[in-house]
Structure 1
Amino acid sequence: MRFDAIIFDFDGVLLESEFEGNQMLARLLTDLGHPTTFKEAIEHFTGLSGRDFIGKVEATIGRELPDEFHTATRAERDRTLEEGIAAVIGAVEFVRALPPSLPKAVASSSSSRWIRTHLAHIGLDGLFDPHIYSGKEHVERGKPAPDLYLHAARELGVDISRAAILEDSKIGAIGALASGGTVIGLAAGGHCLDGHGDMLRGVGVRDIAHSFEEVAQLVGLDQPSR
C-alpha cells in the first residue's frame, strides 16, 4: 500500500449524484430561459454545494434564481434521499475490499445527512464512521479551499502528504492539490464525458483513473473483486 489513508469525495466519486443532479440542473435552467446543456452544467457547477452553488448559478445566468427553482431542487433532493441514487460502478466493491486497518474518510461539500443516508442506500453504512466530514459543517471554508481535506487527515491521524484523495471535480481537485495530498482524478461516473481526465489534468492532477480497478493499481492495492 502506497498510502497511510484514503480520503474520498462523495458525489461523483462514490455516488452517481453528479450525473442525476446536472441533468436536472440543465433542464431547470433551460426551462427558465437560460439554455444549458448537460456538459455545460458539469463544467460550471460540479463540486459546488449550498450557497456557493447558488451563487455560481446566479452569477452565470445574471439574475437571482426564482422560487420555482428552489422548490424543484428541494423536491428532487427529498425524493433522492427517500429513494436513493446508484453508486458509481465499482465504488462499493472497492470500499469493501479495503483493509479494515486502513484509515479512510469521506470529505464532501454535501451535508452529513446526505452522505450518511446515501451511504446506507448503497450498502456502505458504517464503513466510514466516524470519519464523514462536510464542507458545510466541519470547516469554515469549503472546497476549493484545502481545509476539508486537512481536517479529514487530522481526524484520521495521518499526515496529509501520506493520504490519497479521490476527486472527480475541478473545484475539488484544486482544493485537494492545495492540501498537499496525492490526488487521483476519478473519471468513472456517468457525468464524466470525453475530456474529463484532461480537464482534471489542466488543474494539475497527474494521476487519472477511469475505473476503481485503476484506482486500486494507483494506490497499491489488489484490484477489488467484481
Structure 2
Amino acid sequence: MKLFISDCDGVLIDSEILAAQMMVEHLQTFGVHIGLNDYLRTWSGMTFSSIMNALANQHGFELPPDFVEVITQKHEAYAAAHLQPIAGVKEAYAQIALPKAVVSNSWLWQVKHAVEFVQMQEVFGDRMFSSEMVARPKPAPDIYLHVAAHFGLKPHEIVVVEDSKSGAKAAVDAGMHVVGFAGASHILDDHTDQLYKIGVKTVVSSMADLPKAVEDLRAQV
C-alpha cells in the first residue's frame, strides 16, 4: 500500500451527528418529519444537495434556488457551536507510516477548515480532495478513482478509512481496501454489520485501534 486516505466528516471531525440534527429540524419546514435515527440510517454521508433533491422527489415539495447555501450556512453556524474532533485521530494517524490524503463529499473549503480545526495541516499538506472535483459524489466511486489517478496509483495500492455507508461503498467500488470507523457520535447499533455487507475489510470503533487495523491489511496484500 502506498497511500492512506481519510474521510473527513465522522472520521476527522465528529460532524455527521450535527449535520443530521440540523437537517431533521430543517426538513420540518418542508413538512417532512424524519426521526434522527432514520435520517442517520438512510442519508448519512451524502451531500446536502443529493439528500434534498431525493426528498423533494419523494415528498413532492419544491426546493428554493438557494437551498444549498441556506443549509450550508445553518450547518456552519451549528457546527461552530458544537463541533469536536474525533478523539485520538491525530495520535492514531501519526502511527500510520503512509502518505495521507483527505477525500470528502464536503466542499473543499470545508475540508480545509476541518483539517485546520483538528490541527493536522502538516499531516495532509495540500492532499485534500472534494467530490466537487468530479461528476458524481459518493456513493459513486468517482472521487476515489480521481485521487488514484492523481497520484498515479492503482486502487489496490490505497487504504481508506470511512465511517458512512455512502463513503464505504464509494471506496469499495473503486477497488480500494477499506477500514470502517464506527466511533463517531452518529453511529447506530447495526452500523458495523452494514459496513461489512458493503465490503469493508475490518471495522474499528476507536482511533486507538486504527493503526493496527491498517498494518494488518498491509500484511495481507
| TM-score using structure 2 length | 0.86
Aligned counterpart, 1:43? 41
Structure 2 letter corresponding to 1:112: L
Cα deviation, residue 49, structure 1: 1.2
Aligned counterpart, 2:9? 11
Note the 1:1-226 alignment, pairs <5 A: 3-30=1-28, 32-65=30-63, 73-79=71-77, 85-99=83-97, 102-136=98-132, 138-220=133-215
Identity in percent: 29
Structure 2 letter corresponding to 1:76: K
Structure 1 residues 71 and 219 mapped into 2: Cα distance closer, same or farther (>3 Å)?
closer
Question: 2:199, 2:214 → 1: CA distance?
Answer: 18
SS of corresponding position for 2:179: strand
Contact 2:160 2:176 in 1 (8 A): yes
Contact 2:47 2:137 in 1 (8 A): no
Structure 2 runs not aligned, ≥5 long: 217-221
SS of corresponding position for 1:191: coil
Structure 2 letter corresponding to 1:183: V
- Extract structure 1 runs of 4+ deviating beyond 6 A: none
Structure 2 letter corresponding to 1:4: K
Structure 1 runs not aligned, ≥5 long: 222-226
How many residues of Structure 1 are paired with residues of Structure 2 in the alignment? 216
Question: 1:14, 1:217 → 2: CA distance?
Answer: 18
Cα deviation, residue 55, structure 1: 1.3
| TM-score using structure 1 length | 0.84
